[in-house]
Amino acid sequence: MASPASATQLTCLHSNGDGETSIPPATSSNDLRPTTPRRQLLVLISSFLTICITIGLNQSYGVFQSYYTSSSQTILPISTSSSALTAFIGTLGSGLTWSGSIFINPILARLDERGTKFLCVAGVLCMSLGLGLASLCMQVYQLLLTQGLLYGIGSSLLYFPILSVAPEYFAAHRGSAMGFILSGAGIGGLVFSPIVRALIAAIGPRWTLRVLAFLVTALGLPIAVTAAPSRFVGRRQTHIDIKLATKPSFLLSVGAGFLQAGGNGLPLTFLAEYSVVLGYSAGFGATLLAVSNGVNSISRVMTGFAGDRFGRQNTLILTVVLCVVSVVAFWGGSVNGGSKGLWVGFVVLYGVTGGGYNALFPTTVAEVFGLQAYASVNGFIYFVRGLGTMFGSPIGGKILGESRLANYRNVVVFDAALLAGATFCVVGVRCYDAIDKRDWKWKA
């Protein structure tokens, strides 16, 4: 029977899926099942590929965004293909990938290993169905329901069972391992962006969506049926109690997650579209998006190494600060002067710095709140990050209005404000973490 205190607890992520409620939560690394190098390699590969076909594919949506708002598009009525509405298709998919945790994790808590694999398979099929049905759409709301909602739900069903257990399989080199895993977002974007652009030019948007549906099925099903279980012997903590929820470090982490997610995805959504406004071809815009994702993937790996050596929170702060600098100095400078050189510089620099938060965020959660609380805290913050993702790009599209060079000034200011707020929050987490632990360390 639940204790009276449970009435004040916030349900979040998931347990090890054993379905038992009488086993007390595990409290230390001694409660972890042993693992093997082979299992660690499997976790690395499956988690990396999961990121590729969920976050990576989402990060290539800018190619669809550029197409849906172009005068040559053949899917939507011209009167409905505004930047704000079409941007929401992509951000709904990526936002649900993260925010779906608040619905999926209570289900995971009641499933055994076989049930978890079934959930992953259902996610893959849901993603494929969403993309396949999108190929039949003729209105924005239909794309919102398929390429946005249905794909996003499926993506979340695959993402969380795989990624929530990944940090448990690594200790000393957790930052490096997670950096490699999360580099899948950049690699996925690097691969999918030119593929989507080439397919749209060769076979049209509808068959492009059908090909993507097939690729997701072919890559996703092997991942789903080999999903690794949690290493915890007993139940992991599945809630955030009021004491933790009111800690400044937790509240600032939530704020950072929301603001950074809103600001981080906005340039990627409009990258291809803005490139066309500057005078580049749509094909070159897709190439720049691929370059940004490629640099981003390398940066995530290197950021993981740097975090292990110089402190994960220190490195996290540096990357977010550099994101603000790149947006203000390079993207803002490009808008003010119409400079293509500054824009290409922004694409590269933002690719380097933009992945830092995403690569280090999971490891800093485990560091600040403990590995045992990782599942619950990470799940709740990812829910908030999903809301931030669905907030940033659509509002940016509304601010933009008609896609003209001068109109991007306010979009740059909005993006810089979001990322500056995230910077303030991560600095606050760094300070309050030291206060909570009563131990300031320069390497943290």
Q: Which H/E stretch holds residue 239?
A: strand 239-240
Which pLDDT score is estimated for 145? 94
Q: Which residues pair with residue 239 across a beta bridge?
A: 11
Neighbouring CB atoms inside 10 A of 426's CB total: 26
Provide DSSP, 306-351. Answer: HHHHH-HHHHHHHHHHHHHHIIIIIIHHHHHHT-HHHHHHHHHHHH
Which pLDDT score is estimated for 28? 47
Contact 187, 52 (CB under 8 A): yes
- Residue spans of the chain under pLDDT 50: 1-30
**Pairwise CA distance, residues 354 & 254, whole Å:** 18
Radius of gyration for the chain, computed over Cα atoms and rounded to the nearest angstrom: 21
**Pairwise CA distance, residues 308 & 429, whole Å:** 18
Contact 312, 364 (CB under 8 A): yes
Which pLDDT score is estimated for 67? 85
pLDDT digits (tens, 9 = 90+) for 284-324: 888 888 888 788 778 777 887 777 788 888 888 898 899 99
**Burial of 181 by CB count in 10 Å (0-12 exposed, 13-18 middle, 19+ buried)?**
buried
Domains of the chain (ranges; CATH) run 36-236 (1.20.1250.20), 238-443 (1.20.1250.20)
- Which pTM does this prediction carry? 0.72
pLDDT digits (tens, 9 = 90+) for 188-210: 888 888 899 899 989 999 999 99
Which pLDDT score is estimated for 133? 95
Is 226 in a helix, a strand, or coil? coil
